[in-house]
Amino acid sequence: MIKPLQLHTVYGICLPLPYTGSARARAWLNFFYGYDYWTDPYLPVEKSMKTASVSTTDALLREMDVYPNPCADWMSFSYCFADMTSDIILQVFNAQGMLVWKEKLTTHCGVKVIETSNFQPGLYTYLIHSATEKLAGGSFIKN
């Protein structure tokens, strides 16, 4: 259960960041305290994190946020692909196109924090995909 001081910190993170604030707060708490805050009922939940019904558009069913950018020691991937039924894979490539990170994501909605302290400084690209389609992609800078 979240402590009052942690809740105060979470609200400080959430309020100025519409749509992604509570996802970021959950990722930070999960990373630093090792507790699964994604489903904590005491944290604020914004409309982008609520489970969407099947009748909504793909834009509501699929969300992705990557932060901080640029990064130093870690990178957080906050994602929700609620309409997916197959496995989801996260891949990170360096500027030369070499695969430097690959992991099967265990849930269709969640936060994956990867350690980037061993990455060389530079530009990296990420790709999240299923066996049949690309779901999200982009780039980030490692300082």
Based on the fold, state whether residues 69 and 130 are members of the same structural domain: yes
Which of 12, 33, 50 is at the close of a domain? 50
Q: What is the pLDDT of residue 47?
A: 47
Residues 64 and 43 in one domain: no
Kindly state whether residues 36 and 67 are assigned to the same domain. no
* Alpha-carbon span 72 to 93, nearest angstrom: 16
Residues 65 and 129 in one domain: yes
3-state secondary structure at position 27: helix
Mean pLDDT confidence for 108-121: 92
H/E element holding 12?
A: helix 4-14
Asked whether the beta carbons of 76 and 63 are under 8 A apart, the reply is no
Residues 33 and 59 in one domain: no
User: Is the pLDDT assigned to residue 117 strictly greater than 50?
Assistant: yes
Residue with tokens 């849930």: 107
Both 37 and 99 in one domain: the answer is no
Total structural domains in the chain? 2
User: In the prediction, which pLDDT does 58 show?
Assistant: 45
For residue 142, the model assigns a pLDDT of: 94
Mean pLDDT of 75-103: 90
Domain that holds residue 33: 1-50
